Amino acid sequence: MKTSNLRIVRSLREAIGRTPLYRTKYLSKNPSVEIYLKLEFLNPGGSIKDRTALGMIDQAEQDGRLRSNSRIIESSSGNTAIGLAMLAKSSGYHVTAVCDRHLPATKRARLSAFGADTVFLPDTPPGMDTVELRIAIAKHLADAIPDGVSLGQYSDPANPAIHRKTTGPEILDALDGRVTAVIAAVGTCGTISGIGQAMKAYNPAIRIIGVEPIGSIIFGGEDAMYHIQGGGLSFIPSILDRSVIDSGIKVSDASAISAVHLFGKSDGIMVGGTGGLVLKALADLSEQSPDASVLVGIIPDAGDRYLDTLFDSDWLRRHHFSDLTLMPTSGDPLNDTVTDLGCSLNEIPSTRGPALDDLCSRLSVRVPAVVGKFLSASA
């Protein structure tokens, strides 16, 4: 007898999509406004870009652009390349990602684990949009290397098509069509264009709102540096469908990163920087929305991809976001008690701290024999 909704999949392609909508109760500034988050980090490769990778590979196979032993060469801030690499092996493809040197360590590890090669640009300033340069390098390599193919997520119609076919209908189905607005971060603009097309076909009154970091120019403004990876651009991608977008919002790095940290503490979910853009926009929009509105935000990936940036205290200090770090304060009973023991709170200090045997003695904890030998040898 079937007792659950669990499904058996015979390939990772079948596991992509049908991600849950999570209702958060802490984000809305109006209790009568419902906010749902589409948790795209629950795709098998860990991001919404699994869908993009699947859509582009499927279309390229249908068009005859991909064959066994093809090398897919893609400009990526990490997630799309990870999705491509995850799916490539079962079809005999090779993947080469073209990335800048600010690619987070976790994304590098995933690409390596999936057998992908990574081409790193020369050193570039933090916050510089390197996308156009990366695209040019990917095209050059695809032309120069036998069996090289550049799918081009910023210009491939298969990118928005997969969201029109899957992501948008999933939202409508889960909420029985009760959607007031959908908010998505913009980069390639495939997600917002495809979801927007699906929503407007169902109900033209559903609002589609894009959000980008200050410094991105998709919705106008001056080109400037920003630190939110995967969101925003210094040019307008050809697959952007402005006809289905009602408005665009700009959010500062500080506001997005603050939203990421606040959401982790309120809901126990770590999201990436583009998710922070969406969370900030949702919180502000909830305050302006009529009662009984239903808002949906797209969360592209999880925060564990940014442990060495958004969640690293040194990185936050270097980029002047130090107010987001958990710094113990004098007078805090927890901090004072921990310090009195010779331990440290939230950070690992550069000093060794008290002798281990002294701490064990104070707490009446037996020092294991092997540790005792270590202490004797190091004395």
Across 303-334, b (16+ Cβ under 10 Å) vs e yields bebbeebbbeeebbeebebeebbeeeeeeeee
Closest CA to 284 of 197, 183, 139, 357: 183
Which structure tokens are listed for 294?
């239903």
Reading the block at residue 275, the tokens are 């998710």
**The one catalytic residue among 38, 49, 200, 250:** 49
Q: In the chain, which residue ranges form alpha helices assigned H by DSSP?
A: 12-15, 49-63, 79-88, 105-113, 131-144, 158-162, 168-174, 190-202, 253-267, 273-288, 313-318, 333-341, 356-362, 369-378
What is the C-alpha to C-alpha distance for residues 186 and 256, in angstroms, rounded to an integer? Answer: 14
Q: Of 177, 181, 176, 148, whose CA–CA distance to 35 is shortest?
A: 181
Q: How far is CA 331 from CA 33, 328, 353, in A?
A: 39, 9, 20
DSSP bridge pairs for 61? none
- The answer to whether residue 373 is catalytic is no
The tokens describing 141, both together, are: 């390599």
- Whether 28 and 297 have beta carbons less than 8 Å apart is answered as no
Strand partners, 183: 209, 297
**Quick one: which of 158, 193, 183 has its CA closest to 51?**
158
Distance separating alpha carbons of residues 1 and 295, to the nearest angstrom: 37
Whole-angstrom CA distances from 102 to 108, 124, 132, 216 are 10, 8, 16, 18
3-class state of residue 237 by DSSP: coil
Say if residue 376 is exposed, middle or buried (CB neighbours under 10 Å; 0-12, 13-18, 19+). Answer: exposed
Active centre residues (catalytic):
49
